């Protein structure tokens, strides 16, 4: 009782003084729903992967069609967003819709890799991009809850134009950071422009989209520099991998191998089909003397 009462007072004061007073309670509830649903669905998928007998399994139809939780997330966001607009800022409907919108966003971004690769790579190495996307999204929402807003414009026309130009520059620097694989610089750089500028000017990671387009055989020295800078087994990469293992579970090597073997088998089947078609279309070519 002696601990519960001061804690309750602290929560009420924080809600009224730091959230309601600055109209941030909706964003805070989005963050709560986002983190909560992501944590729950990750726990659920890991229980299913561990084949815990008493935990409900995947949702599948009789024909074997697997319904991803991404679907439920999208539907939840659509419903919550629609009712949120209809609420016109009236409490508590707006706050309820914000909370459910966060739940839908958490379910959706947990399968972020499915958006990118358009195949089920949830437990593959590629699926770990969902963890990175979740951390980035949660960090941005959290910073907004704390009051950070780099795109708030006020004043006369000159100030607004200057703010728009500055915002476009920051967005450009942040975009380059993400293209170079420097996600931390890009995330924090949204709110701290010098860090985004620093990340945009530095060398990109060797496997990033920027390196694939601008390094490689075009600029072998840049590619070599990137590989030396971001060599396998870096200490920071080990920390990141350990964090991903704790949050999302270790990837399954078998999933990646099966996908690669499937693609290889498809290519071989296509080559055999083309060869058979050539033999049917040009049968005389097979009987020509050497």
At 285 the pLDDT is 58
State how many domains the chain has: 2
At 19 the pLDDT is 83
Considering the domain boundaries, does residue 117 fall inside one? yes
What secondary structure does DSSP assign to 107-137, as a single string?
Answer: HHHTTHHHHHHSS--TTSGGGGHHHHHHHHH
Averaging pLDDT over each range in 28-32, 56-60, 215-219, 280-284, which range is the top one? 28-32
Considering the domain boundaries, does residue 155 fall inside one? no
Considering the domain boundaries, does residue 230 fall inside one? no
- Report the first-to-last Cα separation within the chain, whole angstroms: 97
Considering the domain boundaries, does residue 94 fall inside one? yes
Q: Which domain holds residue 122?
A: 1-149
**Mean pLDDT value of segment 250-271:** 59
Domain finish residue from 149, 184, 215: 149
Residue length of the chain: 290
Domain finish residue from 149, 173, 197: 149
Question: In the structure, what pLDDT confidence band is assigned to residue 118 with cuts at 50, 70 and 90?
Answer: confident
Helices (H) and strands (E) in the chain, counts: 13, 0
Question: In the structure, what pLDDT confidence band is assigned to residue 247 with cuts at 50, 70 and 90?
Answer: confident
Point out the least confidently predicted range of 81-90, 163-172, 202-211: 163-172
Domain finish residue from 127, 149, 171: 149
Residues 1 and 139 in one domain: yes
**Mean pLDDT value of segment 80-109:** 93
Considering the domain boundaries, does residue 141 fall inside one? yes
How far is Cα 113 from Cα 121, in angstroms, rounded to an integer? Answer: 7
Considering the domain boundaries, does residue 77 fall inside one? yes
Residues 143 and 265 in one domain: no
Q: Residue 254: pLDDT above 80?
A: no
Contact 23, 12 (CB under 8 A): no
**Mean pLDDT value of segment 219-236:** 85
Question: In the structure, what pLDDT confidence band is assigned to residue 34 with cuts at 50, 70 and 90?
Answer: very high
Give, in degrees to the nearest 5, the angle at Cα 112 between 111 and 114.
70
Considering the domain boundaries, does residue 21 fall inside one? yes
**Mean pLDDT value of segment 167-186:** 89
**Of 9, 35, 210, 242, whose CA–CA distance to 135 is shortest?**
35
Averaging pLDDT over each range in 99-103, 120-124, 125-129, 157-161, which range is the top one? 99-103
Considering the domain boundaries, does residue 104 fall inside one? yes
Question: In the structure, what pLDDT confidence band is assigned to residue 124 with cuts at 50, 70 and 90?
Answer: confident
């Amino acid at each position: 009782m002696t601990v519960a009462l001061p804690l309750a007072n602290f929560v009420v004061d924080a809600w009224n003084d730091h959230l309601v007073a600055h109209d941030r309670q909706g964003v805070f509830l989005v963050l709560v729903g986002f983190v909560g649903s992501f944590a729950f669905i990750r726990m659920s998928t890991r229980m299913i992967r561990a084949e815990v007998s008493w935990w409900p399994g995947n949702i599948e139809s009789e024909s074997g069609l697997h319904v991803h939780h991404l679907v439920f997330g999208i539907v939840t966001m659509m419903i919550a967003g629609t009712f949120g607009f209809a609420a016109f800022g009236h409490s508590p409907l707006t706050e309820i819709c914000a909370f459910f919108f966060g739940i839908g966003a958490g379910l959706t971004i947990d399968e972020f890799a499915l958006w990118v690769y358009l195949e089920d790579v949830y437990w593959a190495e590629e699926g770990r991009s969902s963890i990175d996307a979740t951390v980035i999204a949660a960090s941005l929402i959290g910073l907004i809850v704390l009051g950070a807003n780099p795109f708030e414009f006020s004043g006369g026309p000159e100030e607004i134009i200057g703010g728009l130009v500055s915002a476009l520059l920051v967005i450009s620097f942040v975009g380059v950071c993400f293209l170079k694989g420097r996600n931390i610089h890009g995330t924090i750089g949204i709110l701290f422009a010098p860090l985004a500028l620093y990340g945009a000017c530095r060398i990109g990671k060797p496997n990033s989209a920027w390196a694939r387009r601008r390094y490689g055989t075009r600029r072998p020295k840049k590619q070599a520099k990137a590989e030396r800078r971001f060599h396998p087994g870096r200490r920071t990469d080990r920390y990141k991998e350990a964090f991903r293992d704790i949050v999302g579970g270790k990837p399954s090597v078998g999933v990646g191998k099966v996908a690669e073997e499937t693609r290889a088998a498809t290519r071989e089947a296509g080559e055999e089909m083309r060869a058979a078609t050539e033999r049917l279309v040009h049968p005389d070519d097979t009987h020509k003397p050497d």
